[in-house]
Every structure is written in structure tokens, then in C-alpha cells.
């Protein structure tokens, strides 16, 4: 029987044999330096050796092992430390055979700014009067943050609720400091008007304290405090103030009744449900903060099928993991014994999400989970969070309702994804058939599309967007600043971006073709920046014969196949649905038809390239025009002359680099004015 180890170098096998029997993390790399897989092990020697000592031919594992060219390992002190390092590396390296959850934007928070003394002695200066704000980003010790929230909508809804009940300000300090009369929010009873002294500092401080207590889930204490203040005002015959506090209590009680918070003991809980179907997976995360259910968010990992097979291999060679972690049983709720369960795909997906998600996001005190997870995982998360984390697998009462709701949402979201992907796959197949292509793997069919954008030659940018695996891959989008061309020359811009995009790849392909066969001691090094790069199966350019002719010249010069290049030419009257395809290899134009699925896909990719180019160009133009305002301060340079200068020299930098003679050559710029412009910019 042929072992997989026979296809690997003696050096690699010697490294495997020399591994220590200690906990650690291992990484497999292919010949081009790409990361194949990242794994952890309680015993590195035992785990890694199992990959090379068994026959995995004809399996997914064998396919991956056959690509291994080198290996790296890191020894750590404990299995928990190995787990954290493993998932940090997975998020950073994005291996091909690991379950990978895409990096999400940082979660939004509700921020209370300008934390002040409780007695209100610091007066009513803008910086000392706390305000409510939506926030996303790094935290600052000077402020207090509540969350995270699953969406911006959840934060804004909470801000509106706090405005109704506690009447805290939301205006910026610059607005607050310049007001002479209260704003509309005061008129509609959403703010107490601290900007004009309509509330005493001490009373406003009480409102801030109550709002913070409410966000922490201390709702009954808040109601008791409001009731006490109401009775004090009533005893002093201050019935108007007492009525105001009574109305706040009524508003708060309505909110609590609507959200059923009064029967919930939990303060901060995350509920996680998982659904796997059709080679895809969905993890639905529902959040409870301060006793309030804030909503949920769905996550869809990549590489589920390949990674699950490798994880099964790891589980088969792992030591006994033991039972659930300490803290996995609470108040008599049932506890599942993981030692009796095989590592299902659902469990693998959920464990991958927990490990990758809570590396950055703070873990709450309680996790309600739809699948049993490993002891070491919860311990590692607790270590990361710096607090005890309790995992509940078979919840009861309100927790059970939360989990059932999260599971239902996971089912719905995954069904929606599968339906959308089925439609997108049909479009990919239609395009492949229409162009008579024959890709080895439809899922790996890759399209790159280019567009040029500028405003009258100013701030020229080219965009490249990527379509692969039946979806737009926005992490692979690129923008290229175009310089050294005549402003407005789209053909020269297209030539420049194609040369920059494919020049090094073509050079690497040529070097690979000329390289000696393995084992003769030779070999050509790939140019920098080409490791892991490959030519797409189709190159779309937004334009007709002119742009396609320019792309043809570039591909001929680089020695690349002309059949890859297709131009998207606008139809009569530039109407959508009338586009025609223009080919660089001389084939006749093709009109796919208004209702063609292939044309729908091309239009989607072309429009995305246009959007990406436009946004980049506008951002670049805005930067240029910040500098361009220097021209407006020069007497005699009005809008028309400024536009001519920027168009002629490609922006304010070009104007500043021009000589007096060059400036004077611009229509409408006399010699005296040219000298004045030169002096002003230097």
C-alpha cells in the first residue's frame, strides 16, 4: 500500500519525526507558500504524524496532504493557549482547508460620553454633560460603552428608548455649546434641555445614572429610584415634577412589558444556533444585553465541507477530551456529556465560530448553545474574557424559547442563502455556456472586471473587482491610481492598469515554463508579489472596440491568451439589456438577449466595477480638491481657470509642479497670473 508520505521530501518527514510530544499549533503550506491548514494538538508529534503515516489516497484529506510542501509548528504551554493561537492564525492566514468565518465589521456600541461627578458639581460645560451616542471602533476610558449590539438599528432603537424615558441629550458638543434656546427634541419631550439650564446638574446626573442602570439590566432598581424621587416631590407639593417622574415610570413600565424583561433573570447572554445543509452552514447569534433581547445576526462560514473532513481526522487521533467544562451546568439544567458524541459537522462549525468570534468580541457570562462544545474551548474563552463563562446546552424556560427562536432564524437564513446561491450558480453556468468555456471547476471560475473613472481627467482611478465561487469577492477588489498619462485618456489608463495587474503574473508564468524539472537542482524564483496569484478565467473590460483593442495589445505584449478578454459594449442609446460582448481574439460580437442569465451576471459584475471605481475616484478627487482650494484663494483664478488648470495638470500636485511657462500656456492664464500662481503654491 502506498503511503502519502512517499510523495513528500525527506526533510519534511524528518521534521515530522522530530516533533515534540507537547501541545502546540501546526501549519501546512503548499509549494507556492499558500497556507493549506492550521491545526492544534495536545500532542504535536502524534497529531501531525497521523497525516503522513496513513493512506489517505483518493480522499479530501489525501488531496490536501498531497499539496503539503513544508510545515511550521509552534509549541505552547497549554491546550487553551493552543486553541487561541490556532484561531488567531486562522483569522490572519485564511487557510484553504479550515472552517473560516469572515471578519465582520466591529460591533456597534451605545456610548455615554463625558462621564461626570455624580453630584453635578462640574457645572454644565459641554464636555461634562453626558450624551448618548452611537459608536463603532476602539474604546476610550473617558467614556462608558454598552453592548455590543448586533446591528446599528438596535443601537439607535435603544437610544430612542433612553431619550423617551430619561431625556438625555444626543447633540454634538459643538451644537450643545452654541445653543441659546432648546431644540426640537426638548419640545417633543426627548431631552431635558441641559444646554439652556432647564434641568439642574444633580437631576441630570440622576437621569444618567438611571440610564446606565437600565442598560445594565437593573430595571427594578431604576423604577424604585424614580418612585422615591416622585414621592419626595409630592411631599414637597411639587406636583408638576412628580407628574413628570410618574410619566417616566409609565413609559419605562411599558417598555419592560413589551420586552417581557420583568420575568428574565439573565443580564448578558449570547444564544448560538447552527444549521448545516447542502454543504453550507449558518450560525445565528442572538444577543441579550441588560436583560433585553437586542436582535440577532447570521454568519456563513467558508470551506465547511473540506474542513469538516480534516477535523474528523484530528478528532480520530486526539486524546480523550473529557467531559464538559466547569460551569457548563447551571441551576439544574441538563448537561450533555461530549464524550458520548461524535464530532458532528454542526459541532465543528459552532466551535469554529465561538473560537474565532470571541477572540475579538467580549464574551458574556452565559452562552446558550444549540450544540455541545469542548471543555477546553469554554475554558479558553473564559481565559480570554477574564471572567467565568457558563455554557448551557439544554436550556429551559425563557432560555429555551430564545434558543428555539435562534434555531428558526438559522434555518430561514440558510434556506435563503441556498436559494440565492442556486440562482447565482445558474447565472455562472449560463455565462460559461454562452462563451463556450470549459472550466475544470465551476465554483473556481474566476472573473476580473476593470473600469476607469475620472472627472474631466481629474483624479483618474481604475478599479478591479473579482467574481469567484459564484459571488463577488470584495476582499480581493483593488484600486489603481493612474498617473503619467494625458488627463482623460481612458485607453492609456486601461493599458496601465492591465500591465500593473498582469505583468508580474505573466512573468511568473514564463519563469515557471522555463524552470527545470524538479530534482535537477535548478529552478526559477517567482517575481515578488506573485505567490498564490493566478490568471482569471475571464477578463471583462467596461468598454467596446477601443478598450478591447488596448487590452489585446497588452495581452499580446505579455504573451497571455487573447481568448480571456471580453469587452462589454453599451447598446443603442446606452440602454440596459442591449449590451453586446466584444472579443479580443477576433470573434464576432455576441448579443446575449435582454433576459439572458449570462447577461445579468455580466451586468452585475460590470456595475460593481463601476461603483467601486466611482467611489474611489470621488474620494481621491475630494482629497485633491482640498488642496485645490489653494487656487481659489489666488486673485484672478475663478472656477473656469481653476478647472482648466486641474484638468491640464491632473490635479493640484501637477499644478504645483508646473513651471511658470507651463502655467502660462494654459488658455486664459496670462504671464503675470502664472507668476502669481507659482508664488502662491511655492
Query: What would the pLDDT profile of 397-448 be if each residue is shown by its tens digit?
Result: 888 988 999 999 999 888 888 887 778 888 888 888 888 887 878 888 999 9
Question: Region 535-563: what's the mean pLDDT?
Answer: 90
Tell me: pLDDT of 123 over 60.
no
Q: What is the sign, positive or negative, of the torsion defined by CA atoms of 435, 440, 444, 447?
A: negative
Cell numbers found for residue 596: 439572458
Round the average pLDDT of the chain to a whole number and report it: 80
Give the C-alpha separation, 255 to 423, whole Å: 42
| From-to residues of CATH 1.10.150.20 in the chain | 633-681
What are 493's three cell numbers?
Answer: 489608463
- Of 599, 598, 602, 603, the residue nearest 426 (C-alpha): 598
pLDDT digits (tens, 9 = 90+) for 135-145: 887 777 788 88
User: What number does CATH give the domain 269-415?
Assistant: 3.30.420
Over residues 450-464, the pLDDT tens digits come to 998 877 666 788 899
Task: Give the lowest-confidence range in 23-37, 389-403, 480-494, 616-630.
Answer: 616-630
The pTM (predicted TM-score) of the whole model is 0.62
> Between β-strands 280-289 and 292-299, what pairing exists: parallel, antiparallel or unpaired?
antiparallel
Whether the CB-CB separation of 243 and 262 falls below 8 Å is answered with no
| pLDDT at res. 27 | 93
366-369 and 390-392 strand pairing: parallel
pLDDT for 391 equals 92
Supply φ then ψ for residue 538, to 5 degrees.
-155, 135
Q: What is the pLDDT of residue 121?
A: 40
Rg of the chain on CA atoms, in Å: 32
Task: Quickly state the pLDDT bin for 211 (edges 50, 70, 90).
Answer: confident
Angle, in degrees to the nearest 10, between helices 219-235 and 239-259: 160
The total number of residues written for the chain in this structure: 682
For the domain made up of 633-681, the CATH class stated in words is mainly alpha
C-beta of residue 448 within 8 angstroms of C-beta of residue 466: yes
Q: Has domain 442-512+535-618 been given CATH number 3.30.420.340?
A: yes
Considering the chain, tell me which residue range(s) the CATH 3.30.420.340 domain(s) occupy.
442-512+535-618
Give the strand pairing for 109-112 and 144-146: antiparallel
**Could you give the CA distance from residue 338 to residue 390 in angstroms, rounded to a whole number?**
16
Q: Please list the residue range(s) of the chain that carry CATH number 3.40.1440.10.
A: 4-93
Q: Are 285 and 270 in contact (CB under 8 A)?
A: yes
86 versus 2: the higher-pLDDT residue is 86
- Could you tell me the end-to-end alpha-carbon distance of the chain, in angstroms, rounded to an integer? 78
Exposed/middle/buried for residue 291 (C-beta within 10 Å: 0-12, 13-18, 19+): buried
Burial of 35 (0-12, 13-18, 19+ CB in 10 A): buried
Task: Give the tens place of pLDDT for each residue, 275-305.
Answer: 998 788 999 999 888 777 888 889 888 888 7
Comparing CA positions, the residue from 604, 607, 603, 596 lying closest to residue 434 is 596
- Residue 507 pLDDT: 83
Nearest to 465, CA basis, from 603, 593, 590: 603
Quickly tell me which residue has 460580437 as its cell: 589
pLDDT band at 56; cut points 50, 70, 90? low
Q: What is the pLDDT of residue 322?
A: 42
**192 contacts 198 by C-beta, under 8 angstroms:** yes
Q: Which class is 4-93 in CATH?
A: alpha beta
* pLDDT at residue 120, rounded to an integer: 40
Residue 217 or residue 259, greater confidence: 217
Residue 335 has pLDDT above 70, yes or no: no
Q: What are phi and psi of 101, to 5 degrees?
A: -95, 130
The set of cell numbers assigned to 68 is: 503539503
Amino acid at each position: 500500500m502506498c503511503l502519502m508520505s512517499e510523495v513528500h521530501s525527506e526533510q519534511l518527514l524528518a521534521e515530522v519525526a522530530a516533533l515534540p510530544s507537547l501541545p502546540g499549533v501546526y501549519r501546512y503550506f503548499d509549494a507556492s507558500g499558500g497556507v493549506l491548514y492550521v491545526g492544534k494538538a495536545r500532542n504535536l508529534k502524534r497529531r501531525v504524524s497521523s497525516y503522513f503515516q496513513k493512506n489517505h489516497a483518493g480522499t479530501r484529506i489525501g488531496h490536501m496532504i498531497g499539496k503539503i510542501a513544508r510545515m511550521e509548528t509552534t509549541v505552547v504551554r497549554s491546550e487553551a493557549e493552543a486553541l487561541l493561537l490556532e484561531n488567531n492564525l486562522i483569522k490572519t492566514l485564511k487557510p484553504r482547508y479550515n472552517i473560516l468565518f469572515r471578519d465582520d465589521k466591529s460591533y456597534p456600541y451605545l456610548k455615554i460620553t463625558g462621564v461626570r461627578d455624580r453630584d453635578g458639581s462640574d457645572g454644565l460645560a459641554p464636555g461634562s454633560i453626558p450624551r448618548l451616542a452611537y459608536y463603532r471602533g476602539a474604546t476610550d476610558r473617558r467614556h462608558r460603552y454598552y453592548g455590543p449590539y448586533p446591528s446599528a438599528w438596535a443601537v439607535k432603537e435603544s437610544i430612542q428608548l433612553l431619550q423617551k424615558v430619561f431625556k438625555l441629550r444626543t447633540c454634538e458638543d459643538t451644537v450643545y455649546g452654541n445653543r441659546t434656546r432648546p431644540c426640537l427634541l426638548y419640545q417633543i419631550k426627548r431631552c431635558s434641555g441641559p444646554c439652556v439650564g432647564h434641568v439642574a446638574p444633580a437631576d441630570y446626573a440622576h437621569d444618567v445614572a438611571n440610564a446606565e442602570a437600565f442598560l445594565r439590566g437593573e430595571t427594578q432598581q431604576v423604577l424604585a429610584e424614580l418612585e422615591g424621587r416622585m414621592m419626595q416631590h409630592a411631599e414637597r407639593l411639587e406636583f408638576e415634577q412628580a407628574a413628570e417622574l410618574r410619566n417616566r415610570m409609565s413609559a419605562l413600565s411599558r417598555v419592560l412589558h413589551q420586552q417581557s424583561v420583568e420575568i428574565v433573570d439573565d443580564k448578558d447572554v449570547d444564544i448560538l444556533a447552527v444549521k448545516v445543509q447542502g454543504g453550507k452552514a449558518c450560525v445565528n447569534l442572538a444577543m441579550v444585553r441588560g436583560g433585553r433581547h437586542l436582535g440577532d445576526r447570521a454568519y456563513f462560514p467558508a470551506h465547511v465541507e473540506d474542513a469538516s473532513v480534516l477535523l474528523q481526522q484530528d478528532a480520530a487521533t486526539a486524546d480523550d477530551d473529557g467531559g464538559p467544562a466547569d460551569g457548563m451546568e447551571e441551576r439544574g439544567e441538563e448537561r450533555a456529556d461530549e464524550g458520548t458524541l461524535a464530532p458532528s459537522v454542526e459541532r465543528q462549525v459552532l466551535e469554529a465560530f465561538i473560537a474565532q468570534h470571541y477572540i475579538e468580541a467580549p464574551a458574556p457570562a452565559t452562552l446558550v448553545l444549540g450544540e455541545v462544545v469542548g471543555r477546553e474551548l469554554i475554558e479558553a474563552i473564559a481565559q480570554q474574557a477574564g471572567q467565568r463563562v457558563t455554557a448551557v446546552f439544554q436550556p429551559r424556560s425563557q432560555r429555551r424559547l430564545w434558543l428555539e427562536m435562534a434555531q428558526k432564524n438559522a434555518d430561514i437564513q440558510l434556506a435563503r442563502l441556498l436559494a440565492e446561491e442556486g440562482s447565482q450558480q445558474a447565472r455562472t453556468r449560463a455565462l460559461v455556456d454562452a462563451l463556450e468555456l470549459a472550466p475544470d471547476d465551476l465554483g473556481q471560475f474566476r472573473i476580473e472586471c476593470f473600469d476607469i473613472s475620472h472627472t474631466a481627467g481629474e483624479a483618474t482611478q481604475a478599479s478591479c473587482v473579482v467574481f469567484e465561487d459564484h459571488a463577488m469577492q470584495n476582499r480581493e477588489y483593488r484600486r489603481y491610481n493612474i498617473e503619467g498619462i494625458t488627463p482623460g485618456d481612458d485607453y492609456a489608463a486601461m493599458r496601465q492598469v492591465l500591465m500593473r495587474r498582469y505583468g508580474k503574473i505573466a512573468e511568473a508564468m514564463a519563469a515557471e515554463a522555463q524552470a527545470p524539472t524538479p530534482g535537477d537542482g535548478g529552478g526559477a524564483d517567482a517575481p515578488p508579489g506573485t505567490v498564490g496569484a493566478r490568471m482569471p478565467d475571464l477578463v471583462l473590460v467596461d468598454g467596446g472596440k477601443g478598450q478591447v483593442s488596448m487590452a489585446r495589445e497588452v495581452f499580446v505584449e505579455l504573451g497571455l491568451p487573447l481568448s480571456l478578454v471580453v469587452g462589454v459594449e453599451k447598446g443603442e442609446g446606452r440602454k440596459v439589456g442591449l449590451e453586446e460582448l466584444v472579443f479580443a481574439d477576433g470573434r464576432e460580437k455576441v448579443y446575449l438577449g435582454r433576459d439572458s442569465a449570462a447577461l445579468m451576471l455580466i451586468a452585475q459584475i460590470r456595475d460593481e466595477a463601476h461603483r467601486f471605481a466611482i467611489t474611489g475616484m470621488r474620494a481621491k478627487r475630494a482629497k485633491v480638491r482640498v488642496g485645490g482650494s489653494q487656487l481659489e484663494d489666488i486673485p484672478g483664478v475663478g472656477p473656469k481657470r481653476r478647472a482648466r488648470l486641474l484638468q491640464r495638470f491632473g490635479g493640484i500636485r501637477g499644478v504645483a509642479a508646473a513651471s511658470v511657462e507651463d502655467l502660462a500656456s494654459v488658455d486664459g492664464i496670462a504671464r503675470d497670473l502664472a507668476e502669481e500662481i507659482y508664488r502662491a503654491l511655492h
